[in-house]
């Protein structure tokens, strides 16, 4: 059995990475999503173990001290991490693994797993990003403002990825993303 490949998808909140990843997973059944752990509260409709492993700050800190995470970061006031054992078992089973994480986590994973493929999703502009976050209707104005400010800093790290996709047209962006996953 062949060993799977690890793909890291990063980008600022509101760039469309979650929507693109969900569509990709629907179309490419051989790709599995790595479920990250987080200390943030679930959003409406999210379930533990499906979107994230929701942990208390204490449980997250314990797992961190025990070395359970391949990467971890504090983003927008919450901790996020990827359990190393989850990734290794999927790769060894021959699955391609999609890891949707921020640039800090992508740097950590890339330093530990040099063969990981990095992809960065960019919004067409900061104005488009602000509009998307507002239309999403999930965050307060203060949170949106904080995410937009963070996005400008995050986008400065796009050059570290082998691939950058500007998500202006969803269908085109999805086609670009699929092409990366299906090349050998």
* Domain range for 33: 6-182
Reported as a single tens digit per residue, the pLDDT across 80-134 is 999 999 999 999 999 999 999 888 889 999 998 989 999 999 999 988 888 888 8
Q: Does 49 fall in a domain?
A: yes
Looking at the predicted structure, is the pLDDT value of residue 155 above 80?
Answer: yes
Closest CA to 90 of 175, 5, 177, 181: 5
CATH code at 155?
3.40.50.300
Q: Does 153 fall in a domain?
A: yes
Number of domains comprising the chain: 1
Q: Does 1 fall in a domain?
A: no
DSSP code for 122: E
- Report the predicted TM-score, pTM, of the whole model to 2 decimal places: 0.84
Q: How many CB atoms lie within 10 A of CB 140?
A: 8
Q: Are 67 and 94 in contact (CB under 8 A)?
A: no
184 pLDDT band, cuts 50/70/90, is low
């Amino acid at each position: 059995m062949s060993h799977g490949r690890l793909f890291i998808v990063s980008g600022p909140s509101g760039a469309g990475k979650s929507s693109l990843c969900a569509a990709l997973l629907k179309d490419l059944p051989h790709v599995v999503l790595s479920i990250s752990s987080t200390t943030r509260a679930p959003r409406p409709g999210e379930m533990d173990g499906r979107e994230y492993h929701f942990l208390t700050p204490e449980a997250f800190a314990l797992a961190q001290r025990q070395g359970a995470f391949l990467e971890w970061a504090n983003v927008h006031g919450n901790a996020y991490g990827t359990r190393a054992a989850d990734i290794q078992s999927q790769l060894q089973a021959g699955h391609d693994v999609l890891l949707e994480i921020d640039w800090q986590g992508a740097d950590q994973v890339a330093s530990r797993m040099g063969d990981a493929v990095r992809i960065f999703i960019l919004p067409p502009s900061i104005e488009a990003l602000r509009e998307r976050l507002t239309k999403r209707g999930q965050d307060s104005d203060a949170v949106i403002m904080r995410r937009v400010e963070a996005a400008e800093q995050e986008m400065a790290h796009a050059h570290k990825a082998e691939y950058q996709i500007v998500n202006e047209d969803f269908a085109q962006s999805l086609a670009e993303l699929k092409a990366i996953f299906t090349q050998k």
